[in-house]
Structure 1
């Protein structure tokens, strides 16, 4: 960790490198900005942030973006390692970890981000603690979301660049990352497979934190939402017909799977927000699990595939 005076005249701040490279012969004579944007496809937003904080370095010295580089010089990009939350010794089941990312198998009931209703005890609090214990910068950037009651695989970037490369709202992220879910739905779905393309409303932000989750509704004027499903098995649970369903999302709306299966008349087991009280079947959370996660690694283009056992199958 090195402390530099920010080039925009701001206060001194501790900066930690998160990307580095050695200038190659075919890059000599180019500006730092040109090399960085060409080599890493860095967004201009992130580049401007790095530059404004004095985190653009050549051979350990802060420079401006127009500085011309020569073969063998070392370029580093750095940012302040501000933790997104307080460090707390929360147990987080880690499936995979390398210098760039972490994959965790989130249990149902664990909140991902601190919020007004859950200021601590979250997955992010636990990962900040984990990284500090390892002597690493406490950057923690969940790449996608899982509801509190949803279990399964969650991808977390360990620096801003990796998060940017994998973020699903960016084209690169959509090409590099995919997930599938398993759910236990009430009733026996008639069709063996299908696609639900039903827009979902986006309620306006509440002035105060609501007492509980705000339900979403199918709405023709809402945001596009597409869910593909396949029935893996039809069986019975506590005398009730249930279906094990495999799902993939072509969009990422809040509660999308829960809303779409309820729209089909088959709410999730345990989901009393979108189903009748009898949907609980003694489950405290909706039976929804992020079963598979596959990605193209942003550093080296390795293909990785992860699977997490389904906690509610076989039904008992």
Structure 2
């Protein structure tokens, strides 16, 4: 059985949708940001928190767990700056609780959801896994701390692990039964689509004077189902012993500017956005685009769904919520 921590969240629930086709799955989630309705009914669901070691131990005692995937992190940059204690407690201390209990129970296979925020503001056009990490906020630092802990656990205790550094996850499941549902919503594509559905008066663009072709920030967007399928390949590699310790970037390796994303959303929906141009936000890099060649060369994975398909799936999900 595979334990998916945070499996009621956006990315975790999409992964569970794919995993239950091949494996028995138990999901642990405290529902602080996830949703019970997002968990596939073929998975066992346990409501609980990584802060409670008794809950984790009971899971490992009840189920024969072969590997653990960890999606249960707080991930809002601004919130992490305002309340770093909350981020270090949830993203680092709670993860240590999980790793400690895994060690106690002889479970040594772990997949960790990390982030492009570990790179900070890189000075390269395409970010490779060996690009220097220099996070500029508590969220990115909390993720990098866990990466460093995993490296130490591998060296000292034989932990076998994979770190997956996500770029911008977007889109919704192909049936539109699950998708992004954050409160508050901070991601660009759902904010634009919400605006085009009349849920907000304008869409804000932060900064128009970046060193990019149209002056707005460029980001790498990847469909959440493509992310889920990358996790399946990585899990298979851990379980069959092909992988013991590595890090992969997960992105499309192609960037789109904020203005371009707005234009594609307008084309998909047939609606016109009302844009409000604002000053830059502190710490926003001009460009973040992944080099995902490593996982392609080693596991044969690459993103399959293009930006139009990403936005079309998100639009179907948002319309279904009306």
TM-score by length of 1: 0.25
Larger radius of gyration between Structure 1 and Structure 2: 1
Quick check: which one's helix share is greater?
A: 2
